[in-house]
Amino acid sequence: MKLNWRDDRMWLVVFIAAAALASGMHWRFPRQAGGFTRVAQRRPAGDEAWTQLDGSQWKLADHRGQVVLINYWATWCEPCREEMPGLAAVAREDATKGLAVVGVAMDDGGDVAARVRAFAARMKIPYTVVLPAPEKSLGPREVALPTSVLIDRQGRIVKTYHGAVEREDFAKDVAAALAES
């Protein structure tokens, strides 16, 4: 069966449209800066506590007075890996200004701690990495990855991010949260 020029042109248009769509789909994250919950409407973040990779406990209550950024991620999550360098940069830049960053690795299966420890070393993650207790209600099936939660100095949720976040957005929001009294 021979295609006529109109069929050929239609396929060319389809090809060009598909190529344009595919080129724009590289993990370009939507902008997420701003949009804080008003102070009077913020709710407490709770008494979160997780096991660090060295076996010690990390407790949110120990970080009152600091702005905390909790990042839920997994080693197998491509958008999580894409946002990590920006998150690491913000963690390094703002640690001395009162920011605490904690990464909650939502991996499951056998030998999770060893896998996450190796991944964190390979990625040179500069912030604390923890594992949730298996019995916790917040698990990999109940949170989209990556998800991040920004918490103010009083332990209240300022903002929740769904999906990967650009470094500039984390930096802008962290700076605004650090500037709050």
pLDDT digits (tens, 9 = 90+) for 43-92: 999 889 999 999 999 999 999 999 999 999 999 999 999 999 999 999 99
* Contact by Cβ (8 Å): 98, 67: yes
Structural tokens at position 113: 């701690």
Q: List own/partner pairs for 24-28 with CB under 8 A and 24 or more apart.
A: 27/78, 27/79, 27/82, 27/164
Q: Report yes or no on 133 lying in a domain.
A: yes
Print the domain residue range for 37.
Answer: 33-179
Is this prediction's pTM over 0.85? no
What would the pLDDT profile of 87-142 be if each residue is shown by its tens digit? 999 999 999 999 999 999 999 888 999 999 999 999 999 999 999 887 654 444 45
* CATH, residue 69: 3.40.30.10
63 in any annotated domain: yes
